[in-house]
A and B are shown apart, each in its own frame.
Chain A
Amino acid sequence: MSIEVKNLHPLEIKVLLNVEEGEEIDYGLLAERLQFKVGQCNQAFSWLTAKSLIQDIRHIEKRSYELTELGKLYQREGTPEERILKFVVQKGAAAIPEISSSLELENKDTGSAFGSLSKEKVLAMNADKEVTALQDSPSPRMNTIRTLLDRAQAKDGTLEESELSEEEIAAISTISKKRGAGGTPFKLIEGEEIVYSFTKEGIQAKQDLQEAGITGEEVGTLTSEMLADGSWRGRQFRAYNVNSPANRTLLGRKNPYTEFLESVKDKLVSLGFEEFDGPLVETEFWNSDALFMPQFHSARDIHDVYQIKDPTHAKEIEQPYLDQVASAHENGWNTGSRGWQYDFDRDFTRRLILRSQGTVLSAKQLPKAAIPGKYFGIVRCFRYDQVDATHLSDFYQTEGIVLGEEVNLRTLLGLLKMFAEEVAGAEDVMYVPGYFPFTEPSVEVHIKHPELGWFELGGSGIFRPEVTEPLGIDVPVLAWGLGIDRMALMSLGLNDLRELFSPDIENIRLRRREA
């Protein structure tokens, strides 16, 4: 394995340059020669081993003692023995309970400290069962413990057994435990130390470093201070591995589905369409009656709607549209139609529902439409459907109208062709007679999509006069709707409509649209 030595970390470089072939490498060596701390040693060992530049040659058993929280407290404020001795020396003789309560020790701890110190002839019990001091100074054992505590504190809380004298080892073993060390000042840690040496590759890397003149002192991060004081001058910069994995960067972005919908909106605007919009809650009047769908007809089955619980009905329907639409249903009004020949229900028509088709807004646009005019909307609709991969309870519909004196079936076909080519990028277009309750004639457009093959892009037709005339329009009106969800799914690489509205943040972060 050949190593790109310029990409080595300064820690690795220093080890390679400062250790000779055949030397044994361990913590002690690196600490002494390079002033590495334990953490730096570990990093250097792990990286160099991973690159096969060093290998382990020997494992040594190693015991060390680590200060516990209690140990740190003893170091700071004195061991119980030290505190009891000091108390008795300063305050004179005192009973064990008095000592305990003054020093906030437990009686048994005070008792056992007294036991040790009386054996060492430092303390004694007088006739009044009071503790008295036989000498002012601590015992040699106490001194040893004090030294251990202070030394451990100075060395990040850890003492290697190899650094201790026999006497110290004897003392520390009485105040340390391997497990459950919370009640003792030291925790005994048994481990092993690994001793390494260079591999062939390591020696090669050392030579390469020397030849390349890399010292490990190269600059890592360029700082503002270095720029301010000019200290970057004359220094080498460490080369980075440009192929190391890139950081995960989180960014703000639009949802790819709304991006798709907006691209369709922009396309329609560029084709001369003005956008319309409206409330989510609608009346049966605008949702179906104004579209000349008879109140009794099975065609209303396919628009099964969600009804609003409260209030159930709108206060009123705009006039003169209500009267005119009602007459159109009953007898055709003056549209030249015979109408549906039934009694129009003026109560039912006020029933509030959730909009079930985008055509509602096309109808609502008619009374205020300009002639000529082109309008569209991409609007949320609601259906009483079991939710699955191909049905949602709420979803977007893309609908619109074209009004004008010269509008007819051929311009309808031209419009559909324009949508097929401009919006869907279709290669081929086919027209088929269709059926919609509000258009006559009605035409479906099927397109050959470069990736999806043949599918139905949309439905369209010329609004029935029973729709347009009661709403005050006396020119032909083309009405159209586009099914763009399949294209949306394809452009997002999905095959389940529910995914379009996914709440999963990671899923959305990673989702892309075909460029």
Chain B
Amino acid sequence: MPKIEVDKSAFYRYLGITADEEKLKEMFPTAKAELDGVDEEKNILKIELNDTNRPDLWSAPGLARQLRIHETGIIPEYPFFSAAEQKLDAEDRTVTVDPGLIHIRPFITAFAVTGKPLDDPGLKEIIQIQEKICWNFGQKRKSIAMGVYRSDLIQYPVRYTAADPDAVKFVPLDFKRELSLREINSIHPKGKDYGHIVADFPAFPFLTDSNGDVLSYPPVINSARIGAVEIGDEQLFIELTGTDIYSLTLATSIIACDLSDMGYTILPVKVEYPYDTPFGREVVTPYYFQEEMETELSYIRRQLGIDITAADAADLLRRMGIGAEANGEGVRIQPPVYRNDFLHPADIVEDIMISRGMDSFEPEMPKDFTLGRLTRETEFGRKVKDIMVGLGFQEMIYNYLGSKRDFLDRMGLTEEDGNGIIQVANPMTENFEFVRSSILPQLLYSESVSGNAVYPHKSFEAGKIAYPDENDNYGSVTKNYLGFLHSDNGADFNVVSGYVSAVMFYLSREYSLEELDDPRFIPGRGASVLYNGNIVGILGEVHPQVLENWGIQMPATVCELDLDALLTKEG
């Protein structure tokens, strides 16, 4: 979830209404925002935004806008938007696109910024917006990357080209010497971070002006001259490149609206494509592409459980900044220029809910009668646990992830001997790399850290294990197992066999034992438990080598039973 830091005084200025932190806390639910903290020294508010579908809220001006509209009911105007039927005049501000980009990074949007010199909070805000939009919304620059330039140094038209990564060279930001695009990928810090996005293409995206002066190598790094923006600059050029024209265009709209709210003037830019796009071959950006949506009043009423008129619903939506009007027994909406999160009428319903306020809904108990019950496995597991407790065992509960060392090596088992175990492909550490296929290793792990606890030790867990099974659709199965351990001087096969006998007696399950050759047990002192002709468990005296592997200095016996198999009645 995105977290932002905003300059307190700038935020209150964007908000435009008198407020303090207490008031903010009251207002924040409207934007699904939470005040994480206040840094009084730096005059900063730390805010968490919960809605990952509302990138327009991930900046100080954007968040302030939503709160302001809900508070005042005044919807701001953004006159710099073009649309399919109405293109604004971009004057000479044009970007041309190279046909070679169609399979590399096909889309670009842009606008120019003027009106006042860039100040320190403004620059910080732009950097934060760029980070949040390109990182969280733009998949770490993969689908959206943004560049800011000094437009007074640019000769239009700007050229967006597919360049030879070895032949083309320029001085990137923070460097003094020329590097080829490919060298940037391996040498420049930003190249190391983002170069992989385009590294496999034969040509790399490249931006120059009409004189051939370099703007940037998107999505990686700006040039050291046109791309070096500083406080005091009054003329800016902003472009975004990407792979999905919808999210790219929305991101552009959000950034333009934010800068407009910050007091800058936005000037449109025309992009000329040599190929078709969903918005045509000539697109003037910022560009409004969102479609109207309509919903029936009956749907709103059913979802919210309230009686509401179409006019009231439209009013509530306008309080959220959404163009809305009653339309007979329905409501028609026009999404704000900076939002594209209306996929289904359900999304309209939520804005009505938020606008109306949670307190306005009277909670009502669900009236339908339904029968509550536990699964058969849970019921059976509880019965087993009661028996174990009656036998004097302490129930344990363990994590399901562990290491190969614990799950196999220390048990004297190897994967090659058919002891299949589910491995995680992307473990965070080797300590959490395998899913347990048995409870026994963890019971022994407990012993290895509990040598000081008064003996006898009698511990058990009834829980899940999983192991590979190539016949299964998922290639593995999950089972409910019981594992228990007895450790003491005199903990021998006869004693553990007695426990098994007691468990089976009280579960009313007939069973037999068969000698088992297993490296975990002392030879001649391990057995399989047979039920219904199938092996459903094992028991035995733990081999001293295994005890030594765990650093355990007290004899132990263990047993493990497949509860799912035992749940099945005989015959």
Contact = CB atoms under 8 A, between A and B. Distances in A.
Nearest to B374: A275
A280 to B, nearest CB: 5
B457 interface: yes
Given A269-B374, A275-B373, A501 B401 contact: no
Contacts of A332: 343-344
A360 to B, nearest CB: 13
A95 interface: no
A372 B370 contact: yes
Contact of A384 (B394, B397, B398, B426): B426
Contacts of B139: 296, 298
Interface in A379-396: 380, 382, 384-387, 392-394
Contact of A413 (B350, B363, B370, B401): B363
B497 interface: no
Interface string A484-515: 00000000000000001101111011000000
B397 A272 contact: no
Given A372-B368, A501-B398, A505-B450, A306 B424 contact: yes
B52 A437 contact: yes
Interface in B533-559: none
A311 B423 CA distance: 10
Contacts of B424: 306-309, 354
Interface in B327-381: 343-347, 349-350, 353-354, 358-359, 361-375, 377-378
Contacts of A258: 395, 397
B464 interface: yes
Interface stretch (A156-164, A186-194, A428-436): A428-436
Interface in B16-50: 29-30, 32, 50
A281 B468 CA distance: 10
A248 interface: yes
B53 interface: yes
Contacts of A437: 52-53
Interface stretch (B103-111, B173-181, B299-307): B299-307
A251 B456 CA distance: 10
A462 B303 contact: yes
Given A314-B475, A505-B453, A465 B346 contact: yes
Contact of B365 (A283, A316, A411): A411
Given A275-B378, A505-B446, A410 B362 contact: yes
Given A406-B367, A433-B350, A466 B374 contact: no
A506 B349 contact: no
B395 A407 contact: no
B452 interface: yes
Contacts, number: 282
Nearest to B457: A505
A101 to B, nearest CB: 42
A465 B453 CA distance: 55
B196 interface: no
Interface string A22-61: 0000000000000000000000000000000000000000
Contacts of B350: 433, 440-442
A435 to B, nearest CB: 4
B475 A354 contact: no
A248 B454 contact: yes
B304 A408 contact: yes
A374 B372 contact: yes
Contacts of A283: 474
A418 interface: yes
* Among A277, A370, A430: residue with most chain B CB under 10 A: A277
Nearest to A379: B464
A213 interface: no
B396 interface: yes
Given A414-B366, A465-B344, A281 B474 contact: yes
B422 interface: yes
A409 B346 CA distance: 12
A298 B389 CA distance: 47
A310 interface: yes
A228 to B, nearest CB: 30
B478 A281 contact: yes
Interface stretch (B150-158, B162-170, B427-435, B522-530): B427-435
Nearest to A248: B454
Given A262-B382, A410-B304, A442-B350, A508 B366 contact: no
A309 to B, nearest CB: 4
A265 interface: yes
B223 interface: no
B459 interface: yes
Q: How large is the interface on B (under 10, 10 to 19, 20 to 34, 35 or more residues)?
A: 35 or more
B394 A410 contact: no
Nearest to A395: B399
A97 B131 CA distance: 100
A298 B136 contact: yes
A269 B143 CA distance: 46
Nearest to B365: A414
Contact of B426 (A307, A372, A501): A307
Interface in A335-366: 335-342, 352, 354
B69 interface: no
A505 B372 contact: no
B346 A272 contact: no
A253 B389 contact: yes
A402 B305 CA distance: 15
A273 interface: yes
Interface string B381-394: 01001001111111
A373 interface: yes
A281 B396 contact: no
Nearest to B378: A275
Contact of A434 (B32, B359, B464): B32
Contacts of A340: 343
Contacts of A442: 350
B51 interface: yes
B268 to A, nearest CB: 25
Interface in A157-198: none
Given A275-B378, A462-B346, A402 B425 contact: no
A393 B344 contact: no
Contacts of A384: 426, 428
A299 interface: yes
Nearest to B382: A262
Given A281-B476, A332-B344, A435-B51, A265 B374 contact: yes
Given A275-B378, A464-B344, 5 more contacts: A250-B456, A307-B424, A407-B366, A440-B347, A505-B453
Shortest Cβ-Cβ A-B pairs, 9 listed: A408-B305, A372-B368, A410-B305, A413-B363, A441-B350, A337-B344, A269-B372, A505-B450, A506-B453
5 contacts: A273-B370, A406-B366, A416-B363, A434-B50, A505-B447
Interface of B: 1, 29-30, 32, 50-53, 136-137, 139, 143, 244, 246, 291, 302-306, 343-347, 349-350, 353-354, 358-359, 361-375, 377-378, 382, 385, 388-401, 422-428, 432, 435, 442, 445-447, 449-450, 452-454, 456-459, 464, 466, 468, 470, 473-478
Interface of A: 248, 250-255, 257-258, 262, 265, 268-283, 296-299, 301-302, 306-312, 314-316, 332, 335-342, 352, 354, 370, 372-374, 380, 382, 384-387, 392-394, 402, 404, 406-411, 413-418, 430-435, 437, 440-443, 462, 464-466, 476, 478, 500-501, 503-506, 508-509
